């Protein structure tokens, strides 16, 4: 059976390296399925879940990784995913994410309205909301939104 070598990287670590039967990337315009023999391509990544279908049954039927931004390079039977933010869905801890989100709101609200650092906290809040949504937990609207 033909397979794809997949390397999934985020800025601080290698998330996954192995062979997959196929994978589904999340792009800004929708999903992109990748199978062995896919044409070479570089694509931007959007916000959502990347689904990996490992060859090795010991890895399970599907690995799901929530991402936000980045790029993927498809070349021959190799896919390299460089994600700005990525976390395996089964590693999401809603209580920790909620606490991080609240701290980001507090830090953002402590800044002047024209302070450029507010954009950093906006992105952090957006990432936390995506994690909570993916985990099936409501973000619980905060008055500062």
Domain-embedded: residue 141:
no
Domain-embedded: residue 144:
no
* 139: confidence class by pLDDT, cuts 50, 70, 90: low
| Same domain membership, residue 109 and residue 70 | no
Of 116, 117, 144, 34, the residue nearest 80 (C-alpha) = 34
Query: What region does 113 belong to: left with phi over 0, alpha with psi -120 to 50, or beta?
Result: alpha
pLDDT digits (tens, 9 = 90+) for 28-62: 999 999 999 999 999 999 999 999 999 988 888 89
The boundaries of the domain holding residue 82 are: 4-90
130-140 average pLDDT score: 83
Task: Indicate the number of domains in the chain.
Answer: 2
pLDDT digits (tens, 9 = 90+) for 85-131: 999 999 999 999 999 999 999 999 999 999 999 999 999 999 999 99
Domain-embedded: residue 10:
yes
């Amino acid at each position: 059976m033909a397979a794809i070598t997949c390397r999934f990287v985020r800025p601080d670590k290698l998330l996954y390296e192995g062979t997959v039967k196929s994978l589904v990337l999340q792009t800004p315009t929708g999903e992109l399925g990748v199978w062995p023999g896919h044409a070479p391509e570089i694509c931007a990544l959007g916000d959502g879940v990347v689904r990996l279908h490992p060859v090795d049954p010991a890895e399970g039927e599907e690995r799901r990784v929530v991402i936000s931004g980045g790029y993927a390079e498809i070349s021959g039977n190799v896919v390299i995913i460089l994600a700005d933010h990525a976390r395996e869905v089964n590693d999401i801890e809603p209580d920790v994410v909620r606490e991080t989100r609240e701290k980001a709101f507090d830090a953002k609200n402590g800044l002047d309205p024209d302070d450029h650092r507010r954009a950093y906290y906006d992105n952090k809040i957006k990432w936390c909301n995506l994690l909570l949504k993916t985990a099936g937990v409501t973000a619980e609207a905060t008055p500062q939104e």
